Structure 1
Amino acid sequence: MAHKPVATVAPWVRTRLRTAPGAACAVALLVLVTAFLAAALPRAVDVYETAGLRHAIDSAEPADRVVEVVTGDRYRPHEVLPDRLAQDHADILEQLPPSLRTLPADSAYGVRSTKRVEGMDTWLPKPYKTRPQLTLSSQSGIERHSTLRAGRFATKGAEPEAVVTVETAEALRIEPGAVVHVPGKNAQPVGIRITGIVEPSAPRSAYWSYEPTLRTPVYAAVPDAQGPEFYWEAALLLAPDAADTILRTTGGSDVYWRLAPASGHLTGRDVPELAAALNSLTRGPDLVRMRHMVGATTAVNSGLGDVVETFSGMRAAISPVVAVAAFGMGAVAAVVLAMTGGLFASRRYAELALLRSRGGSLSGIGVRLLGETTVTAVPAAALGLLLAVLAVDGSDSGAAGSARFLPALAAAGGVALVAVVALPLRALYLHRRPQLHGARDDLVDARPSRRRTVAELTLLVLAVGAVVALRRRGTGDAGDHLVSAAPVLVALIAALVLVRLYPLPLRWAARPAARLRGAVGYLSLARAGRSSANGALPLLALLVALTTTAFGGSVLAGVADARDRAAVLATGADARIASPVEWNPLPAGLERAVRGSAGVRDAVPVQIEYGVSLPSRVTGSVEAKNVTLVGVDPGRYARLARETDIGAFPESLLRSTGSREGGRDRVVPVIASPAVAERLGADPFGIVSVAGEFKVKVVAVRTHTPAVPDADFLLVNSADLNRAAPTALLVSARAGGLDGAALRGAVRAAGAKDFTVRLRQEQRTAYVDSPMQTGAERVYVTAIGAGAGYAGLAVLLSLVQSSPERATLLARLRTMGLNRRQGRRLLGLEALPQAVLAAAGGTLVGWATILLLAPGVDLVRLALAAAPGLTTLDHATLRADAWSLALPAAGVVLLTGAAAGLQAWWAARSGSIKELRAGDTR
């Protein structure tokens, strides 16, 4: 008997994918984009942290990053021979911790004088009859790091030989063959012949810049009662094998090894190890080993530890702020993925209900649905991970290879997990028990369960705790994720409250609408008030997105405000013209030349004298405090203070005493900083300065002033000074702004070549050159944009989920006489109330979140991380940004209206035959 062939049953997953390929592709695309963003976020953080660390080390001044090993134990000539020092250099490198690598090209070693010695020759320039002060240095590698411009390099000979740089030769009028005499230990001068003039190959390298006088002489000043006295400080570069010459002078000697650190191998994760290594090297076990190897008095000096500590503080301050955006984007993405699963579960409700009615088990249905979503979501998440790895590798920022793979894998895996389980869990929840066919599923019929109430109260407690913690502790703890999630928790609570409350105003509005002519208005409001009980997810997505966007906009606005304020504080005006040398008066005609420059509205001269001694009279302390005396024209300076909003004051406070005579007993009114005012007290107090000797009486207190915003000061009328000589110009710009090139040209043309011009706009730009800042801001902006995109997608998914029921309603109403125009109005008015309430609620919640969290969020490190310590700005807070609050909310309303209108047009175009089939109860 022949057997009948058994019918082959097509596999479930393949059948479903072939039946609805468009839906599967849409889900795959959503998962791919979400996985890419999720995987790219931790990699981007790794990249900008690594780039920021390397930038912090490379951009630090050589004196702040070079590791110097120095000893004063070697007093005999054989202990400073080049071979001995080279061997010690190699031994020191072997003792360095693995995390601390060096740049051989920038590293050096040698012998130097511990104090400067006088140049005794009469032909050396002596301004104010003060002899030049010379540093003697015998540094390795001088021939490799310089180019010979005249003469020859110094060698070991019968008499000591040295070379000087081009700048030193010009300043001290030294030519090859000249002999410079310095004091010797045996009372006999030591003559050093200058054999050549060299030009540094890399003047800004650590080799030349750790001790700048090796390269460039300094025109230094000594304060004097009659005015400052200037003298030259310079260096003579002896041959490496002539280091014993330094031992014969009165300058003392130190042997040193200067190690320039390399940063190319470091990543942001190496900070703890590097900090521990530096601590051990400067004051720990490694220092003990250095002393056994080099000398008992060996010291290891480096500012690199401070650079690393500053970077760590910057990262600790920035990370929680960035985490707020990450939590917001992640929450919105998770809600959208859950909405996608809910959409497919509702669309397939009849199919799954039929399977249940024919004996299908929950576990069997769940496994099959899990297979469907796994086949779609997992490959898409893997592709998103691959794209993130390829796109974010750090090669464009000099941090290639620093991005970790495991955090990206975990993030992409989390996205895949949510996408995989969303549909099965929602379907199992809907079909966990039999339901009546056609039963109502709206907010009127739904009643919150006890479990939901407990969950909502738990979230409320978490939100309150997060807000309180953020206000009290701030964002100092980078690992406190509860604090970073505060805006999301606040938005979540607001969404739950809005879900419970928003039908009420719609029902209230429907009552008067029932009395109006026409049924469209009443019907739309009534249906909006009876919308699906599943509307919590769209509202949650919208509120979280709007709150995160508002918070992000306030962060960016606060950062911009902080940079503007810091730039004004750093310059005191739109531009500042001053000499780097103290007590250097402005050349005659400079003020007139600057006033004639393009874009200049006013130029206010000020006289600044630093280091005025101020003993304490109030506290009884004998220790003097150095303050800055500022002489100003009260009228023009008061106007500048008002315009810049830096310590504004009425000009009448600094009314002149009428005479510059009167000796020490005349009393001059002054405006003082708080610390100085507390020190002086209320009675007149005598001071001695280069500008004059007189008594001062504090008439007002200001925290800052434009001339010296970062120092304790005494502000005085320049007409009351015995010796008035302006030293700086504070320039105000016209509406079109300053022309920096023209201004600098005017300064040079006026003969002020030694004066520098610092523009406020250039100072502001200097605050944003750190990869840590720019990377964090880029991540923040991306997260905000992604959150807004997911919010729009949530709106569309919400409308798509209810589109069949809306189309059926429209078809039935058209059989009752509803025309196409009324149908479009009905669908639009039905969709807009929820969107308007969500937009209004999101705006209100965003504004409230900013007010609640502003006291605990400090944006100084994010705004000014590139230049810490350059301004007195110590706090930068959030502020509500109107555009960030209004634009996303308006976009939600417009998108909802456009989508509803498009749906109405399509429903009218497709006809009503399909929607009115017999037995269809939709």
Structure 2
Amino acid sequence: MRRALHAGPWLRLARTQWAPLAALAVLTLLTAVLAVAVPAATAAGYDRDAAATVGTDSDLKVVGRAKGGGAVSAVPNEGALTANAFTWQQLLPGVLRNVTGPPEPSVTTSGTMGVAGEFPEPRNMNFDWEPGAEQRVGIVSGRPAMNRPSLNPGSAGQEIQVMVAERFATAMGYKAGTRLTLTEDGVPSPPVHVRITGLYAPLNPRDAYWRSRVTLLQSTERVIDREGTKAAFGTALTDNGGYTMLAGDASRSFTFTWRFPVRTGSVDTGRARTIAGDLDSYRTAVQGHAGLFACTVDTPLTGQLDAFLGRLRTAQSVLGMALAGLLAVAAGVLLLACGLLAERLRPFLGTMRARGASLRQLAGYVGGLTALAVVPAAAAGCGAGLLLDTGPPQRTSFIALAALILLLLALSGAAVLRERGGGLGSAGGARADLTAARPSARRLVLDVLLVVVAVAGVLVLRQRGQASGDDPLVAAVPVLLGAALGMLVLRGYPYLLRAAGPLLRRGCGAVWFVGLARASRQSVIGALPLVILLLAAAVAGFSATVDAALRHGQVRASYSVVGGDVRIASTGLDPSVVAKARAVKGVTAVVPARAVQQVTGPGEPAPIVAVGIDLDAYRKAFPGVPDVPDAANGQLVSPGAAGILESGDKTVTLSSHFVDPFPFRPTGKTDRFPGVDPGAAFVVVPYKTFGSSNFPTELFVRGDHIDVAALRKVLDEAAPKGAARDVQIRRDVLHGMTEVPMVHLVHRTFRNAALIGGVFGLLAVLLVLVVGARARGRTVAHLRVLGLHRRQSRVLALVEITPVLLCAVAAGWVLGLLLPEITGPVVDLRSYTSGFTATGHTPGLAAVLGLLAALLLAGAAALAVDRAFDRPDLGDVLRTGD
């Protein structure tokens, strides 16, 4: 009986307040799902970028070199080669050992060996002893190589047996039984006689093993001199005996490689951080290892991980700020729902207190109701978020969610403390108009403290700069700024309403005046949507601004790298190439340039690069290329070249073996120029500086839908025979920047954060409208008696919500636009733009239209709620005496 007695009030409260309890439960469920799923998806995006950065060609190699007898004495046979591989594997730190596969040892001749004979182009070949390759090939012709070295290895007349790939043999015209004579360039060694005993083909051409061993399967072309002469290059497989015979020549050098392939997909974000440090310790361990010739560690992992960690720090900073703002918006909506529930319960609590209920009993009732709505919904949301399987669950998600639940329960306790005075005074409650409320001294202190903390956070944040990464301070600063700005807006909001009141009183209608009066009579909880909408607009503005800056910065970076829509280059081009390139379909402009290397000034200081180009014509043809300033005489100097030449404003004479001496007097500076390596020392001079016999080495091409194949054909015809050729297409460079997984993650997260923040802001507006619909219905009913018709009541609904919407969204949007500038070096996007600085830009048309659409949806929500709660029968609303 006593239990039923105690459960009676609790059940009655739950039954009468089911609507706000259901709203609180639904909002908690949505927040929990997002709190689990969004950070997990972000972490999964980081892992995908780490795996893509490492890729499939990021082997870790221990490399050593030895000559002749020293090589054989250190590694005499396959057993010794395998034993050394085991030693290097044991030295691997734990994480490196986990992400790498079994070692793959190999021995290769270091020098270049030319094949004797008359061929259309030179032929080079080296020897490779790879025990692992022998297990991955099948003999298609002949037999395997089987060498039995004599007691005098390296003696004249010995013939070494080898195998070559079938594709390589077909291209070169070789077959089983073919004999070759090879001579090593630069080494006074006797010729090496070779007999091809067999042709092989890979058992599985798609095996990752062959990705770093292309020359074992086919011939390739290599440039073998400064004139650009190309030679066909291939590799011949031999065995332990063949290696011993080759090592009989004491002058012949060998490269020993123990390759540890990195397992595909094994590197994630956590391991990437650890590997960067492990590589340094592994290098030290390998270099300090005794008992073998000196070895070093060679791997592209260092550069790849540095690039990834740079992108990761930037992503964690900018996405952390956006996600923290989103979490603050969701938390604000939950607090609003909890506060509105407390307001609905206040008359009941006052009555129960007047009848003798203790504060502990009231706390049990209110806390039980809140927990009933929040705890099961949070648990269900966590389960749903885990079932979505968007990525690895993050511990911070559950910590933030638990803190939010405790905050909601604490807020319900604060609602009970208001009843400590007892009686029915709290049942009615005094009106708490924003325009009439006077803040207490305690609130003034808290407001000032909030502003001070926000400003201090910004100062600390700017001081830390790019090193902030996933520091919680980075994520907290925008929320603190939003809260401080919201407090200031709440301070100024009453004054705006007071100023508008006298103006509206002079109007001919009462709708605007009444609507503004009702807007000014919102309680503090009713004004909480202003802060929520402000934060939501700030998240959207920040996301749109950084997203636009990233897109625009990558476009500018692609122009800076290429210098135009297409850039073609060679060591020297026929002057007629300019006219031929202009005739290609889609080309609208062509600007020739010539890059001269090894240019020196007076006293022959360090060499620099001189770029001859018509600067005025280039700037006119390519106005979108950044960092190319104007110069009165068409001469620019880089900071590096200025330090070398030390000319200042004086004229100096520059010279080179390739061009006649010419005067140089810079009238402008530039940090970079297309086609020149970043950080290089260079000067820009007019194209005619190099004389009438000038020839271009580069063409900057502009146009839409250019026929690139035709351009390549023009380049082949104009370039010297055997010279290196290069064609860079701007859209391909841009595609390489934009298709990085981390870039997709940043764009997607910004879009989702803006959309989810907008949805929660609309939910906050809708929640306030629905909860206050009954009180508003009574006001409209009174006005109906005085002659207000339905159309005016709809206008009244819009007028009531307009001040909050405009003040909150305008202030939040401005804060979002300024956040990249306020946070300064934290929003550094150079890791996504090949080192090119991406400055802040205003959001695009889509973002502005999205903001306007959100405002229209809020207005539509006000009209929908007004229509849903419209009561045409005044007797249902007005009581006797009204």
TM-score, normalised with respect to structure 1 = 0.83
2:357 paired with 1:354:
no
2:605 paired with 1:644:
no
Aligned residues of 2:112 and 2:126 also touching (Cα < 8 A): yes
2:861 paired with 1:899:
yes
Distance 1:410 1:12, change over 3 A: farther
Which secondary structure state, in structure 2, belongs to the residue aligned with residue 359 of structure 1? Answer: coil
Distance 1:427 1:755, change over 3 A: farther
Which secondary structure state, in structure 2, belongs to the residue aligned with residue 653 of structure 1? Answer: coil
How far does residue 911 in structure 1 lie from its aligned partner after superposition? Answer: 2.8
- What residue number does 2:803 align with? 833
Q: How far apart in 2 are the matches of 1:497 and 1:515?
A: 29
Aligned residues of 1:118 and 1:182 also touching (Cα < 8 A): yes
Q: How far apart in 2 are the matches of 1:592 and 1:150?
A: 52
Q: How far apart in 2 are the matches of 1:393 and 1:278?
A: 31
Aligned residues of 2:466 and 2:825 also touching (Cα < 8 A): no
Aligned residues of 2:114 and 2:182 also touching (Cα < 8 A): yes
Aligned residues of 2:144 and 2:197 also touching (Cα < 8 A): yes
Q: How far apart in 2 are the matches of 1:823 and 1:389?
A: 46
1:362-511 equivalences under 5 Å are 362-394=359-391, 403-404=392-393, 406-429=395-418, 435=425, 437-511=428-502
Q: How far apart in 1 are the matches of 2:697 and 2:601?
A: 28
2:341 is matched with which residue: 325, 340, 344? 344
1:205-354 equivalences under 5 Å are 205=208, 207=210, 209=212, 216-220=219-223, 222-223=225-226, 228=227, 230=229, 232=231, 234-241=233-240, 242-249=242-249, 250-284=251-285, 288=288, 291-292=289-290, 295=292, 297-354=294-351
Aligned residues of 1:282 and 1:299 also touching (Cα < 8 A): yes
Report the residue type matching 2:653 in the other structure.
Answer: F
Q: Report the more deviating stretch, 238-247 or 176-185.
A: 176-185
1:679 is matched with which residue: 638, 644, 652? 644
Distance 1:7 1:472, change over 3 A: closer
Aligned residues of 1:339 and 1:794 also touching (Cα < 8 A): yes
1:506-905 equivalences under 5 Å are 506-578=497-569, 583=571, 585-586=572-573, 594-609=581-596, 612-615=597-600, 617=602, 624-625=606-607, 627-632=608-613, 636-649=617-630, 653=633, 670-680=635-645, 681=647, 682-690=650-658, 692-700=659-667, 701-708=669-676, 710=678, 711-721=680-690, 724-734=694-704, 737-738=705-706, 755-854=725-824, 856-861=826-831, 863-864=832-833, 871-873=834-836, 875-881=837-843, 883=845, 886-887=848-849, 890-891=852-853, 893-905=855-867
Q: How far apart in 2 are the matches of 1:110 and 1:6?
A: 82
- Consecutive unaligned residues in structure 2, runs of 5 or more: 149-157
Q: How far apart in 1 are the matches of 2:31 and 2:732?
A: 39
- What residue number does 1:665 align with? none
How far does residue 573 in structure 1 lie from its aligned partner after superposition? Answer: 0.9
2:114 is matched with which residue: 114, 119, 123? 119
Distance 1:898 1:216, change over 3 A: same
Q: How far apart in 2 are the matches of 1:784 and 1:568?
A: 30
Distance 1:893 1:572, change over 3 A: same
Distance 1:82 1:593, change over 3 A: farther
Question: For 1:384-416, what per-residue CA distance to the aligned partner results, in whole angstroms no more than 9, with x for missing partners?
Answer: 11222222354xxxxxxxx14544433443344
Which secondary structure state, in structure 2, belongs to the residue aligned with residue 879 of structure 1? Answer: coil
Report the residue type matching 2:588 in the other structure.
Answer: R
Q: How far apart in 1 are the matches of 2:664 and 2:552?
A: 35
How far does residue 556 in structure 1 lie from its aligned partner after superposition? Answer: 0.4
How far does residue 422 in structure 1 lie from its aligned partner after superposition? Answer: 4.0
Q: Report the more deviating stretch, 895-904 or 345-354.
A: 895-904
Q: How far apart in 2 are the matches of 1:104 and 1:555?
A: 37
Which secondary structure state, in structure 1, belongs to the residue aligned with residue 75 of structure 2? Answer: helix
Report the residue type matching 1:465 in the other structure.
Answer: A
Distance 1:384 1:530, change over 3 A: closer
Aligned residues of 2:338 and 2:408 also touching (Cα < 8 A): yes
Q: Report the more deviating stretch, 415-424 or 756-765.
A: 415-424
Distance 1:361 1:599, change over 3 A: farther
Distance 1:154 1:283, change over 3 A: same
Aligned residues of 2:601 and 2:655 also touching (Cα < 8 A): no
Report the residue type matching 1:714 in the other structure.
Answer: V
How far does residue 164 in structure 1 lie from its aligned partner after superposition? Answer: 4.6
Q: How far apart in 2 are the matches of 1:24 and 1:834?
A: 25
Q: How far apart in 2 are the matches of 1:283 and 1:166?
A: 42
2:62 paired with 1:68:
yes
Q: How far apart in 1 are the matches of 2:25 and 2:347?
A: 24
Q: How far apart in 2 are the matches of 1:883 and 1:759?
A: 28
How far does residue 240 in structure 1 lie from its aligned partner after superposition? Answer: 2.8
Which secondary structure state, in structure 2, belongs to the residue aligned with residue 531 of structure 1? Answer: coil
Distance 1:760 1:673, change over 3 A: same
Distance 1:123 1:381, change over 3 A: same
Which secondary structure state, in structure 1, belongs to the residue aligned with residue 772 of structure 2? Answer: helix
- Consecutive unaligned residues in structure 1, runs of 5 or more: 395-402, 655-669, 865-870
Which secondary structure state, in structure 2, belongs to the residue aligned with residue 111 of structure 1? Answer: strand
Q: How far apart in 1 are the matches of 2:741 and 2:444?
A: 46
Which secondary structure state, in structure 2, belongs to the residue aligned with residue 75 of structure 1? Answer: helix
- What residue number does 1:663 align with? none
How far does residue 634 in structure 1 lie from its aligned partner after superposition? Answer: 5.6
Distance 1:615 1:263, change over 3 A: same
Aligned residues of 2:160 and 2:245 also touching (Cα < 8 A): yes
Q: Report the more deviating stretch, 345-354 or 451-460.
A: 345-354
